[in-house]
């Protein structure tokens, strides 16, 4: 038995030190170090016999079978994974508590009929899992070969695996699992690291894919699981606003597919429903006479998403005007307001400005800028923008309208959704065949042009 050693770990980022530190040199946080006892050797690894001995091969000789991926029968999930779960892979599904991680994986497990699955939960009892399964299984027929067990110690889990011999393993929350080899409590950095490497070893040596659930903290970082990020093959993040039904699944890292893909779900009373056409779903049916709303043609990952930006501009009641943004970066909003003020002469300095992205989404695509600026202006002058108009351009610091990536894809989607006009940057015109689209493409070079463009349109329509 190797001697146990004591180390100090930053509980935020997993930085390891032999002495206690007040401030973590890695992530810069204060007071995050905790003492953990680490046994130098692991007994688990020797138990699992490696089936393959590795021999160096020429790269041409290496073969793989793409069809061996396990399809989850959930289009959105498969899309994010890059076409199914790769045998022997280790996946981490992260998300805030209550967002629907357990629901997603249980639902997926129940949909896979042709494999034997083992769902290990360290959080819920078998009865609770069954209750959830009954809630989900209203429409889906047939019985799946799914085994569930409530267990928190890896040594027991591997005994269950031995008995069940599953084709896929799901572990509900790595933070609740502990190994007897490490003395520190479940959820601590050394426990998470040790348990993850045990599951990794199991996955790699047997070819059984392992899906781990991990909780993340409010600020969006994977607490503790930061140390897992480089061990696992893929990191999927499940996010959304709990007050809304939409859930977005994205890959932050994926060794077997693109990280540009995105899966969209809606949480319903009977589990998660896939949303193949998010734009049709996100655009609210709105009154044409209301000012302050503009539609942005954004891309989330590789998918076009049309999002409504709502703004309210009113005279400030207090000395300091208020600025508030939901789903949009506050600093970016301040910058856009400064541009409108300085370059375009719109007096917004003494106004309260509120901005909201409909549907509780968080958007980081810069192509939303023009829609944000136009929504603010529309509310400021109280002239509505037609709901059949959309925008796709970034704004520069001097008020210039800048080009965005993959414009054709955005225009094609706008056309498909029945928009009549799309405002784009003049600098995006090169190589663009405007005649291909039924929609009117309006190129602009500065923000005032866009403003004149839609206010004239609005005036003509109201006539």
Residue ranges binding Mg ion (CB under 5 A): 102
d(CA 451, CA 278) in angstroms, rounded, equals 28
Do residues 371 and 294 make contact, with C-beta atoms less than 8 angstroms apart? yes
Q: Does 247 bind ligand TYD (CB under 6 A)?
A: no
Q: Does 270 bind ligand TYD (CB under 6 A)?
A: yes
Q: Which is nearer to ligand TYD, 107 or 194 (CB)?
A: 107
- Residue 306 pairs in a beta bridge with 297
Q: Does 135 bind ligand TYD (CB under 6 A)?
A: yes
Q: Does 267 bind ligand TYD (CB under 6 A)?
A: yes
- Residue 186, contacted partner among ligand TYD, Mg ion, none, CB below 5-8 A by kind: none
- Residue 97, contacted partner among ligand TYD, Mg ion, none, CB below 5-8 A by kind: ligand TYD
d(CA 169, CA 389) in angstroms, rounded, equals 48
Piece in contact with ligand TYD (CB under 6 A), picked from 9-17, 71-79, 267-275, 437-445:
267-275
Backbone angles phi, psi at 412, to 5 degrees: -60, -40
Do residues 306 and 361 make contact, with C-beta atoms less than 8 angstroms apart? no
Q: Does 263 bind ligand TYD (CB under 6 A)?
A: no
CB of 140 to ligand TYD, least distance (A): 12
Do residues 297 and 389 make contact, with C-beta atoms less than 8 angstroms apart? no
CB of 97 to Mg ion, least distance (A): 7
d(CA 339, CA 430) in angstroms, rounded, equals 26
Q: Which is nearer to Mg ion, 102 or 291 (CB)?
A: 102
Q: Does 102 bind ligand TYD (CB under 6 A)?
A: yes
111 Rama class: left (phi>0) / alpha (psi -120 to 50) / beta: alpha
Chain residues 193-212 in contact with ligand TYD, contact rule CB under 6 A: none
Sheet holding 168-172, edge to edge: 145-150, 116-121, 168-172, 210-215, 90-95, 234-239, 246-254, 262-268, 271-274
SS3 label, residue 103: helix
Reading the block at residue 294, the tokens are 């503009």
Piece in contact with ligand TYD (CB under 6 A), picked from 46-54, 264-272, 289-297, 338-346:
264-272
Q: Does 95 bind ligand TYD (CB under 6 A)?
A: yes
Q: Does 188 bind ligand TYD (CB under 6 A)?
A: no
d(CA 358, CA 361) in angstroms, rounded, equals 7
Residues that bind ligand TYD (CB under 6 A): 95, 97-103, 132, 135-136, 267, 269-271
């Amino acid at each position: 038995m190797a001697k146990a050693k004591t180390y100090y770990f930053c509980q935020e980022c997993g930085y390891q030190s032999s002495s206690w530190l007040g401030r973590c040199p890695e992530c810069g946080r204060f007071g995050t170090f905790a003492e953990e006892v680490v046994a130098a050797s692991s007994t688990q690894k020797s138990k699992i016999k490696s089936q393959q001995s590795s021999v160096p091969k020429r790269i041409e000789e290496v073969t793989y079978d793409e069809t061996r991926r396990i399809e989850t029968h959930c289009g959105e999930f498969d899309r994010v994974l890059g076409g199914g779960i790769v045998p022997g892979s280790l996946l981490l599904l992260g998300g805030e508590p209550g967002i629907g991680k357990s629901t997603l994986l249980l639902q997926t497990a129940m949909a896979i009929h042709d494999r034997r699955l083992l769902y290990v939960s360290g959080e819920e009892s078998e009865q609770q899992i069954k209750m959830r399964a009954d809630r989900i299984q209203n429409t889906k027929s047939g019985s799946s070969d799914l085994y569930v067990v409530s267990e928190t110690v890896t040594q027991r889990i591997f005994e269950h695996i031995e008995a069940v011999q599953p084709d896929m393993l799901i572990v509900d929350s790595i933070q609740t699992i502990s190994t007897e080899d490490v003395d520190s409590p479940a959820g601590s950095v050394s426990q998470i690291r040790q348990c993850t490497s045990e599951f990794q070893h199991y996955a790699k040596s047997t070819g059984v894919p392992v899906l781990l659930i991990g909780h993340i903290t409010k600020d969006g970082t994977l607490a503790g699981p930061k140390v897992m990020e480089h061990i696992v093959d893929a990191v999927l993040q499940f996010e959304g606003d709990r007050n809304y039904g939409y859930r977005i699944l994205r890959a932050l890292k994926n060794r077997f597919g693109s990280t540009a893909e995105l899966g969209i779900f809606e949480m319903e009373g009977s589990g998660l429903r896939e949303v193949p056409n998010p734009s049709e779903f996100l655009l609210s049916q709105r009154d044409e006479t209301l000012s302050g709303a503009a539609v942005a043609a954004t891309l989330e990952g590789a998918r076009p998403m049309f999002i409504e930006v709502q703004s309210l501009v009113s005279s400030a009641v207090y000395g300091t005007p208020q600025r508030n943004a939901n789903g949009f970066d506050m600093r970016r909003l301040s910058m856009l307001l400064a541009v409108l003020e300085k370059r375009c002469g719109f007096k917004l300095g003494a106004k309260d400005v509120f901005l909201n992205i409909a549907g509780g989404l968080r958007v980081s695509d810069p192509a939303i800028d023009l829609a944000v600026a136009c929504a603010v202006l529309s509310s400021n002058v109280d002239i509505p923008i037609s709901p059949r108009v959309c925008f796709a351009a970034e704004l520069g610091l001097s008020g210039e309208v800048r080009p965005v990536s993959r414009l054709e894809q955005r225009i094609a989607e706008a056309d498909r959704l029945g928009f009549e006009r799309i405002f784009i940057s003049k600098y995006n015109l090169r190589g663009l065949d405007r005649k291909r689209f039924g929609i009117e493409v309006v190129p602009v070079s500065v923000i005032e042009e866009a403003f004149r463009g839609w206010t004239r349109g609005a005036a003509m329509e109201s006539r």
